[in-house]
Structure formats: C-alpha cells, structure tokens
C-alpha cells in the first residue's frame, strides 16, 4: 500500500513537472527492487524478518 502511494507520487511529479522521465522510471524500479529484496530476505531468514517487521510488544499485563 505504501509503495503504491510512493510510486504514484513519483509518477505524478514526472507528469506535472520537469523531472526527467528515465530518472523517475529508474527511481521507481529501485524502490520496487528494494521492496522485493527485503521481502525475500524477511521470508527466508527469521532474524532479518524480525529486524524488518519488528517484534510484538504487550501493552497490558
């Protein structure tokens, strides 16, 4: 969800201002690639998953 909002922001700046088209495509590709890498590592390695996702915390005892 958050990645979609960020990508929408990148592409809207490309359409409505003088931001280079290929630079925007590259930036979006890098974000999608980083998302894929972190998701893969979090799925395969428990320690990375806890680092990326965080741990649970009890608020009431």
55 vs 52: CA distance, rounded Å? 9
20 vs 36: CA distance, rounded Å? 25
**48 pLDDT above the threshold of 70:** yes
**61 pLDDT above the threshold of 70:** no
Structure letter (DSSP) for residue 14: H
Given CA atoms 36, 37, 40, 41 in this order, what sign does their dihedral have? negative
Structure letter (DSSP) for residue 1: -
Is the Cβ–Cβ distance between 42 and 53 less than 8 Å? yes
Question: What is the percent of the chain with per-residue pLDDT over 90, rounded to a whole number?
Answer: 36
pLDDT band (50, 70, 90) for residue 52? confident
Q: Residue 18: its pLDDT value, please? A: 80
Q: Is the overall model pTM greater than 0.75, yes or no?
A: no
């Amino acid at each position: 969800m958050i990645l979609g909002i960020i990508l929408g922001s990148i592409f809207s700046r490309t359409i409505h201002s003088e931001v280079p088209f290929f630079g925007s495509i590259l930036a979006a590709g890098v974000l999608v690639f980083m998302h894929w890498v972190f998701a893969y590592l979090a799925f395969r390695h428990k320690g990375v998953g806890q680092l990326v996702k965080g741990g649970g915390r009890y608020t009431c005892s």
